[in-house]
Amino acid sequence: MAELSYRDAVAHGIAQEMRRDPQLVMLGEDIAGAGGVFKTTVGLLDQFGPDRVRDTPISEQAILGAAMGAAMTGVPVIAEIMFSDFLAVCFDIVANEMAKSRYMTGGQMSVPVVVRTANGGGSRFGAQHSQSVENWCMMIPGLKVVAPSTPSDVVGLLAASIRDPDPVVFFEHKSLMASKGEVPDGEVIDELGKAKIVREGSDATIVALAYMVPRALEAADRLAEDGIDAEVIDLRTLVPLDTNAILTSVTKTSRAFTVEENPRLCGWGAEIASIVAHEAFWDLDGPVVRITTPHIPLPAAEALEDMAIPSVDRIVTTVKENLD
């Protein structure tokens, strides 16, 4: 076991896979010489050389197109899009090309690409560098969507994403970069589509993702002081979605809450609320409640951004109000 930061875990996970597969390459803006603007790729250029770790111009379409073209001809690729907001610049390739190519070619084409991107708020960067856009990708048939919350999940889920023959969008959270955690020694490989119960409880199920996981855990500790025993589920991947874990938990607790950083309309929790309402309706003691960022562009000012993104206080208050 070694303690790693979330940002170091990214480079650690990539290195593990680049050692395993000598053909695996990566490309992106400022990832080689500079080690990434979030320092998530530090040391990879020295370890694997300029042919495998390549800097690109500011050309997001060229980056993802090159990744896709290489992948479909037998070379697996990790592509970095610096901020997840920039996915909109190259969304044609994400949503129309890599997601659809296997289906529309009758199963002929395989596109083993991992698109890594820094997601989410908390950095006071304003509306174009802070959004939580995992729901953009969740709604596209043909994309897998991953968003880890801990360093060991970063390593294990990166390995699973890289080894997956389908395109994966891998969201790294900006506000988790400095957080630390234990990562097992040796090769770490996890599984896509498996949620984790990160706190067991019997009174309410709180489903969270990425940066909202530590907040949900802190909220659960505070709720416990008031005698409410909350179970917290870290979804980890949105596609495939581990509905069994959610339904099993809700059957036990009879109440379901989602904590989502994405703006409210069509956020990932809406699908979960729909599934729970449909498939666990008779186990519920009350409505499914979504705790989300409001349906607004994210503001820059510290005071406003903190009001927008679900806080520990808001989670505690909302759960308490609804259980009363």
**Residue 208 within binding range of other proteins, rule CB under 8 A:** no
56 contacts other proteins (rule: CB under 8 A): yes
User: What's the CA dihedral at 247, 252, 257, 261 to 10 degrees?
Assistant: -60
Candidate ranges 1-9, 182-190, 234-242, 299-307; the one touching other proteins (CB under 8 A): 234-242
How far is residue 65's CA from residue 93's CA, in Å, rounded to a whole number?
7
Residue 97 binding other proteins, by CB under 8 A: yes
Burial class (CB in 10 A: 0-12, 13-18, 19+), 227: exposed
Active site residues: 129
Told to check if 47 binds other proteins by CB under 8 A, we report no
Q: How far is the CB of 202 from other proteins (least distance, A)?
A: 23
When the beta carbons of 45 and 228 are compared against other proteins, the nearer one is 45
Interactions with other proteins, residue window 61-80 (CB under 8 A): 61-62, 64-75, 77
Nearest approach, Cβ of residue 65 and other proteins (Å): 2
Coil, strand, or helix at residue 280? coil
Q: In what order do the strands lie in the sheet with 289-293?
A: 196-199, 230-234, 204-208, 256-263, 289-293
Distance in angstroms (rounded) separating the CA atoms of residues 213 and 139: 22
CB of 306 to other proteins, least distance (A): 33
CB of 298 to other proteins, least distance (A): 26
- Among candidates 264, 196, 261, 265, which has minimal Cα distance to 232? 196
Closest to other proteins by CB, 47 or 61:
61
| Residue 165 within binding range of other proteins, rule CB under 8 A | yes
- Give the interface segment with other proteins, choosing from 13-21, 128-136, 158-166, 179-187 (CB under 8 A): 158-166
- What is the size of the binding site for other proteins (CB under 8 A)? 49
3-state secondary structure of 183: strand
Our CA angle for 285, 315, 205, nearest 5°, is 40
- Residue 103 tokens, joined: 């289906």
- Residue 56 beta carbon to other proteins: minimum distance, rounded to whole angstroms: 7
Q: Which two tokens stand for residue 306?
A: 């903190």
Binding site for other proteins (CB under 8 A): 23, 25, 51, 54, 56-57, 59, 61-62, 64-75, 77, 92-93, 96-97, 101-110, 141-142, 164-166, 193, 239-244, 275
